[in-house]
Chains A and B, each alone.
Chain A
Amino acid sequence: AQSVSQHNHHVILSEAASLELGCNYSYGGTVNLFWYVQYPGQHLQLLLKYFSGDPLVKGIKGFEAEFIKSKFSFNLRKPSVQWSDTAEYFCAVNGGNNNDMRFGAGTRLTVKP
């Protein structure tokens, strides 16, 4: 069964700092990978996704993620965070043609102004 691990539960950064959130997955076959963001009191929104091609994926709001197959990882990055990036970030995976997506536990990001 597929599973997702997010190692950081809570990350606190100052504005303009660089961000990297870890995500590792467990699945033996082809995977589709996603990062979702949940702003306080809101629903989950898709940040970016990877399903094939260039392993470096660029998403909205300056976020990017790199798929490293050998490490089963899909870490999220942003060179310079803003206060408005304060939110919870979820990594998710579904395998091949499977439709059910499994989410990591989430990482809460707090950006200090």
Chain B
Amino acid sequence: DAGVIQSPRHEVTEMGQEVTLRCKPISGHNSLFWYRQTMMRGLELLIYFNNNVPIDDSGMPEDRFSAKMPNASFSTLKIQPSEPRDSAVYFCASSLKGGGTGGYTFGSGTRLTVV
């Protein structure tokens, strides 16, 4: 298995532009998580899905952030419009639902820089 695949690895964009981050979870995993990592705040859970359904989006910072999971093998995190304070590394992770004992598998992350 190729693991959790995120794209792009790096994204530099101008303030006000729309940004879309992509994630392909591990095949067979039915839970997917989006995290944001910054020096100031550490790792923050933004949203997670079970069986493609959003379960908890209380970590999404603002309405500018939205996430979708149209099928079991793909999810997107969109920021529109982007702001410099959104600069961070965004990680996607997947796991088996109810398999909290197994832990998560993380993707390599997308480093977002908004200028």
Contact = CB atoms under 8 A, between A and B. Distances in A.
A42 B39 CA distance: 15
B64 interface: no
A43 B106 contact: yes
B42 interface: yes
B98 A43 contact: no
A49 B48 contact: no
A44 B91 contact: yes
Contact of A99 (B35, B43, B48): B48
Contacts, number: 58
Interface string A84-113: 000000100010111111111110000000
A34 interface: yes
A103 B38 CA distance: 13
Contact of B48 (A100, A104, A105): A100
A32 interface: yes
Nearest to B89: A43
A68 interface: no
A63 interface: no
B45 interface: yes
A24 to B, nearest CB: 16
Interface of B: 31, 33, 35, 42-43, 45, 48, 50, 55-56, 91, 93, 95, 97-98, 100-109
What are the nearest 6 A-B pairs in CB distance? Answer: A51-B101, A103-B43, A105-B42, A43-B106, A44-B106, A94-B100
